[in-house]
């Protein structure tokens, strides 16, 4: 059997397997092997260990890569993106510079509705081509697992078109992908005064079709003032759960309006954003099995306070980090930037950041058996860094690429 050896790895990072997402203090522990090797067979990690215990001679391997001075870390698991979208929205970027808020832009027909209008005019193949470019780009930046949402269709046909594009990407890409149905992203104009009617469309028309074609793994709702109330969120999630879709929710982004508690009550796999937390929301999340997913680049882009990562971790929450890659609030899918910002602006330790952006991200997508850490039996999906002084340097020297090469499922990109 053709086996690949990577040898003399300065530090093999995150060699843990665990049954549950890491929470609270556990997030500071990051098992690593200095001066390590990794053996890869058929796209799977066959063995890892210290160089002085390497069980074979070099001649045994079909390929040998020397990683002296370099770090090897699990590919990023980006558990929250909207990377299938029709086009960028830099016209709104200018409005934002001039002082308009996210809510004000949405109220004047910008925001999600702007993307929804653009999506209606776009063919499935153009949407696929544009989205594929973004996916390729983030994979070269080290992302090996990604969640992608619908939510710019807002019609049955549009939502299904988006989910079919995600399905095609799933089939063709070396990046592991999970799909979420986010028909409840905003109320389309025709249903502005008829929430009941849109919820019926979501639950009685869209959901059965999506479940029938197995187009989604999760159901998502934008639970927010002016969007979907906690009661509406619950109703939509329960309908999704009835057809086998677990909930993951956009919660507490602009207001502390009960989204976190709704997610916890429903047993959501994750509640995401969390810029606007109050004591009750923190307590509720800490006492649950729901993962809190922080999206610092969205806070950065909207000039909002960052998520209270320290408070959440110190309260015992399980935290993941993701990009929220989308044209309105985070036009970047760069997990390296998310990681740096999490250290610099949210005071997360480098070890906590890596755990949140790899293993806990994999848990948030239920892919922890195959991804999220570097242990025998998991997929060989990882980042080989350039020669760097150490782990903290990756996030300290922000805004530049420290990646030498990326391997996904045993293939170098």
Interface with ligand NIG (CB under 6 A): 82, 111-112, 115, 222, 250, 253, 298, 324, 326-329
Closer residue to ligand NIG (CB): 13 or 271: 271
Partner whose footprint covers residue 352, from Fe ion, ligand NIG, none (CB < 5 to 8 Å by kind): none
Closer residue to ligand NIG (CB): 71 or 274: 274
Least gap, CB of 206 to ligand NIG (angstroms): 18
DSSP secondary structure string for all residues of 326-363: BTTTB----HHHHHHHHHHTT---HHHHHHHHTHHHHH
Please give the Cα distance from 171 to 185 (Å, whole number). 25
Least gap, CB of 182 to Fe ion (angstroms): 8
Q: Which two tokens stand for residue 120?
A: 């209606």
Q: Is 220 in the site for Fe ion (CB under 5 A)?
A: no
Partner whose footprint covers residue 110, from Fe ion, ligand NIG, none (CB < 5 to 8 Å by kind): none
Partner whose footprint covers residue 253, from ligand NIG, Fe ion, none (CB < 5 to 8 Å by kind): ligand NIG
Least gap, CB of 154 to Fe ion (angstroms): 15
Please give the Cα distance from 53 to 36 (Å, whole number). 9
Chain centroid, CA 111 distance in Å: 21
Least gap, CB of 324 to Fe ion (angstroms): 4
Q: Is 324 in the site for Fe ion (CB under 5 A)?
A: yes
196 CB contacts (<8 Å, ≥6 apart)?
none
How far does the chain reach from its first CA to its final CA, in angstroms? 22
Least gap, CB of 395 to ligand NIG (angstroms): 23
Closer residue to ligand NIG (CB): 22 or 206: 206
Closer residue to Fe ion (CB): 147 or 351: 147
Least gap, CB of 115 to ligand NIG (angstroms): 5
Closer residue to Fe ion (CB): 92 or 324: 324
Please give the Cα distance from 405 to 413 (Å, whole number). 7
Name which of 372, 383, 376 is nearest 412 in CA terms.
Answer: 383
Question: Residue with the closest Cβ to ligand NIG?
Answer: 328
Helices (H) and strands (E) in the chain, counts: 16, 16
Name which of 91, 137, 98, 128 is nearest 325 in CA terms.
Answer: 137
Please check whether residue 54 is in contact with residue 33, taking contact to mean a CB–CB distance below 8 angstroms.
no
Question: Residue with the closest Cβ to Fe ion?
Answer: 324
Residues near Fe ion (CB under 5 A) are 324
């Amino acid at each position: 059997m053709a086996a690949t050896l990577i040898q003399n790895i300065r530090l093999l990072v995150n060699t843990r397997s665990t049954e549950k997402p890491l929470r609270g203090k556990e997030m500071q522990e990051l098992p690593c092997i200095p001066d390590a090797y990794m053996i890869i067979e058929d796209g799977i990690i066959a063995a890892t260990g210290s160089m002085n215990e390497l069980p074979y001679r070099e001649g045994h391997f079909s390929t040998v890569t020397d990683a002296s001075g370099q770090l090897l870390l699990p590919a990023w698991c980006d558990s929250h993106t909207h990377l299938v979208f029709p086009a960028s929205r830099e016209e709104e970027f200018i409005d934002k510079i001039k002082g308009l808020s996210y809510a004000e832009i949405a109220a004047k027909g910008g925001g999600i509705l702007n993307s929804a209008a653009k999506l209606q005019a776009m063919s499935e193949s153009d949407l696929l081509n544009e989205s594929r470019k973004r996916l390729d780009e983030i994979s070269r930046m080290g992302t090996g697992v990604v969640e992608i949402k619908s939510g710019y269709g807002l019609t049955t046909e549009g939502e299904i078109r988006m989910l079919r594009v995600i399905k095609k990407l799933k089939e063709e890409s070396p990046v592991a992908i999970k799909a979420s149905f986010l028909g409840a992203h905003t109320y389309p104009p025709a249903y502005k005064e008829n929430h009941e009617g849109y919820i019926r469309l979501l639950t009685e028309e869209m959901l059965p079709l999506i479940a029938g074609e197995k187009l989604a793994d999760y159901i998502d709702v934008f639970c927010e003032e002016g969007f979907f109330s906690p009661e509406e969120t619950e109703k939509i999630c329960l309908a999704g759960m009835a057809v086998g879709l677990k909930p993951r929710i956009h919660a507490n982004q602009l207001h502390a309006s009960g989204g976190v508690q709704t997610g916890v009550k429903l047993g959501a796999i994750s509640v995401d954003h969390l810029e606007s937390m109050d004591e009750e929301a923190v307590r509720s999340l800490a006492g649950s099995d729901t993962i809190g997913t922080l999206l610092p680049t969205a806070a950065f882009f909207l000039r909002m306070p960052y998520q209270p990562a320290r408070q959440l971790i110190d309260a015992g929450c399980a935290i993941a980090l993701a990009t929220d890659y989308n044209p309105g609030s985070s036009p970047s899918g760069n997990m390296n930037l998310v990681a740096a910002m999490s250290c610099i602006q949210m005071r997360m330790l480098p070890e906590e950041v890596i755990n949140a952006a790899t293993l806990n991200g994999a848990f948030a997508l239920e892919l922890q058996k195959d991804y999220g850490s570097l242990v025998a039996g998991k997929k060989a999906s990882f980042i080989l860094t350039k020669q760097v002084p150490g782990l903290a340097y990756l996030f300290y020297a922000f805004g530049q690429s420290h990646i030498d090469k990326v391997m996904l499922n045993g293939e170098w990109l």
